[in-house]
């Protein structure tokens, strides 16, 4: 089954029947196992799975772990998850292949540049390291209003429910890698990307220093 999706959390509603009194079927999204359905009846019954889709075509499969037979699927509804905050624990539970230490906020289970927490904050997929470049924050450097000064801006994706789930995006800058401050950071622009994320651009005070560093820290309270 295929669906033309939009990046973000979605609810997959299946009506499925099996070939016996009890069968175990894996749910795969884009060839990654995200859940297991235990089907108890030969008649169609409802099952719900939380999934994080990517932009464009998403391939959803049910694979019978007990035989090569395919299940009967009456319908599949793909519904955006909205109207409530999605905590880190709920979000990471949508990737059941990540267990134990691999499910921790600071883990890099697939050796990606971004941690699980950063994927959660920026709208990434922790099981797919190839999307890091798409969601990585972008820093831009330009001339400041004062001759000889530099002006730096930083653009990143921010969850709309950040305040509700205790998620903080802290922008810090400094002239070396030892001393950091967030004093004077100003939000310049905020654009709605979709129902889950805004694109935010901030600036830091102009500097005449020959070097300046910028970083973002993601914190859950």
Of 127, 6, 112, the closest CA to residue 56 belongs to 6
The per-residue pLDDT for 147 is 67
The per-residue pLDDT for 69 is 54
The per-residue pLDDT for 63 is 77
**CA–CA separation, 108 vs 207, rounded Å?**
34
Which of left, alpha, beta for 115 (phi over 0: left; psi -120 to 50: alpha)?
Answer: beta
What pTM does this model have?
Answer: 0.66
Q: What sign results for the dihedral spanned by CA atoms 201, 205, 210, 212? A: negative
List, in order of start, the domains of the chain with CATH numbers: 2-80 (2.60.120.260), 88-135 (no CATH), 138-220 (2.60.40.10)
Per-position pLDDT tens, the chain of length 221:
667 666 666 777 777 666 655 667 778 888 877 777 777 655 566 777 777 777 778 788 877 765 545 556 656 777 666 556 788 988 888 788 898 999 999 999 988 899 999 999 999 989 888 888 889 999 988 766 666 667 889 999 999 999 999 999 999 999 889 999 999 999 999 999 988 899 999 999 887 777 889 999 999 98
The per-residue pLDDT for 97 is 84
Asked whether 188 and 202 are in contact (CB, 8 A), the reply is yes
Sheet of 197-203: strand order equals 138-143, 150-159, 197-203, 186-192
CA 45 to chain centre: 30
Supply 210's token pair: 């020959």
């Amino acid at each position: 089954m295929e669906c033309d999706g939009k990046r973000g959390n979605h609810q997959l509603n299946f009506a499925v029947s099996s070939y016996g009194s009890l069968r175990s079927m894996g749910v795969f999204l884009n060839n990654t196992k995200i859940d297991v359905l235990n089907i108890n009846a030969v008649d169609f019954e409802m099952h719900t799975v939380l999934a994080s889709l990517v932009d464009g075509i998403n391939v959803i499969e049910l694979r019978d772990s007990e035989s090569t037979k395919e299940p009967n699927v009456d319908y599949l509804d793909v519904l955006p998850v909205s109207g409530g905050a999605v905590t880190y624990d709920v979000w990471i539970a949508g990737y059941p292949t990540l267990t134990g230490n691999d499910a921790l906020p600071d883990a890099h289970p697939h050796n990606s540049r971004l941690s699980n927490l950063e994927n959660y904050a920026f709208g990434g997929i922790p099981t797919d390291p190839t999307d890091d470049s798409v969601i990585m924050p972008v820093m831009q450097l330009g001339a400041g209003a004062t001759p000889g000064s530099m002006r730096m801006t930083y653009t990143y994706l921010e969850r709309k429910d950040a305040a509700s789930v205790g998620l903080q995006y802290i922008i810090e800058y400094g002239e070396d890698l030892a001393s950091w401050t967030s004093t004077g950071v100003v939000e310049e622009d905020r654009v709605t990307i979709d129902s889950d994320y805004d694109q935010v651009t901030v600036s830091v005070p102009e500097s005449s220093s020959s070097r300046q560093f910028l970083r973002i820290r993601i914190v859950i309270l």
